[in-house]
Amino acid sequence: LCGDLKMQVPFPFSLLCLQVIKCKAAVLWEANKPFSIEEVEVAPPKEREVRVKIMATGICRSDDHVITGAIVTPFPVILGHEAAGVVESVGQGVTSVKPGDKVIPLFVPQCGECKSCLNSKGNLCSKTDLGKSAGLMPDGTTRFTCKGKAVYHFLGTSTFTEYTVLHESAVAKIDSAAPLEKVCLIGCGFSTGYGAALQTAKVEPGSTCAVFGLGGVGLSVVMGCKVAGASRIIAVDINKDKFAKAKQLGATDCINPKDFNKPIQEVLMEMTSGGVDYSFEVIGRTDTMTAALACCQCNYGVSVIVGVPPAAGQITFDPLLLFTGRSWKGSVFGGWKSKDAVPKLVADYMKKKFDLDPLITHILPWTKINEGFDLLRKGK
């Protein structure tokens, strides 16, 4: 095999493509346990696959949902889906990236062939593992091994590791000058929230908005609403420590549901004389999803579910809420077609059209990942 490859590319590169890499990864062996930093073996990329050296990764609440069991996935698993890195090697047939390229992994890929990819209204590529949780590459196998055991992938990305393998459709090449420790957030949190306002809801100038949940994604929704020209952006959270940053990013009002003795939707209806034009649930709780719907203007209000729903969650609500004309929508990765949009969003960041710094609260060595999740759970 090496002999055949030598005729096509320089031998050192051929050898690099063929070898297994041993590196460190944060492995989750079972639910409700901390990550364990382990040595893992990362197999070389197969046809149409890319092996990437991860340079920076963010922590997202969706990763924590796996730990708590709210998202069901097989164990052991390497989590992580919000990252940036450099291509180390590519498999046969890869044309969109080459070794040395800076890239962002895409937990919602863009194959360019399925119904959603071919429809201008869709972005949820059928190749995504979202909602399936198979934890395997498209060929039904894994590229990770630890202590002789197969380790599952997460959302086709698995970024809590020094090296990972992705399908070519799940990798976006970005500006070589982009700072990876910043633009990694475009891999999930920022794009999801920003796009929910601009792409999914299509917030209009002069409109009123309510944003439930002020984590990184919720703050990105606030940023999107401001860019869209909303005249009033009401931020809702039970953690008042998040209010200052929300106002810094564009919120005009900040309210804590605990400060009222009535349902928060009633408070918002009174504040806006009949309901907001757009609301966003960015928490992932069924009770706040229905509250966000109910706080919209009854005839033309639009509510967007951005937070990942719990696996066993069910919603019961009064159908009159929809009968009068409200719209209820979902938004995955902000509605962006990932492979097309991510390089453009990185380019916009480089042109200073938005600032990612306010979304970064801590920078830790990745081996302190358990400390990072503790900070997340404490709302810090």
Q: Residues with catalytic annotation?
A: 60, 62, 65, 81, 188
Q: Give the max Cα distance, the chain.
A: 75
Exposed / middle / buried, residue 42 (Cβ in 10 Å: 0-12, 13-18, 19+): buried
Contact 222, 233 (CB under 8 A): yes
Contact 213, 283 (CB under 8 A): yes
Exposed / middle / buried, residue 64 (Cβ in 10 Å: 0-12, 13-18, 19+): middle
**How many CB atoms are located within 10 Å of the residue 6 CB?**
13
Q: Which residue type sits at 355?
A: D
Measured CA to CA, the distance from residue 105 to residue 169 in angstroms comes to 9
Q: 209 has which bridge partners?
A: 233, 278
Contact 166, 239 (CB under 8 A): no
Structure tokens at 223: 């940023």
List the beta strands (DSSP E) in 249-361. Answer: 253-255, 278-281, 302-305, 327-330
Close Cβ partners of 269 (under 8 Å, ≥ 6 residues apart): 275, 294, 295
Q: Cα separations (Å) of 37 from 40, 194, 367?
A: 9, 33, 7
First to last CA, the chain: 52
Measured CA to CA, the distance from residue 193 to residue 241 in angstroms comes to 20
Closest-CA residue to 130 (of 186, 211, 60): 60
Three-point CA angle 52, 36, 23, nearest 5°: 30
Measured CA to CA, the distance from residue 66 to residue 68 in angstroms comes to 5
Measured CA to CA, the distance from residue 236 to residue 133 in angstroms comes to 31
Structure tokens at 116: 């959603």
Measured CA to CA, the distance from residue 238 to residue 360 in angstroms comes to 20
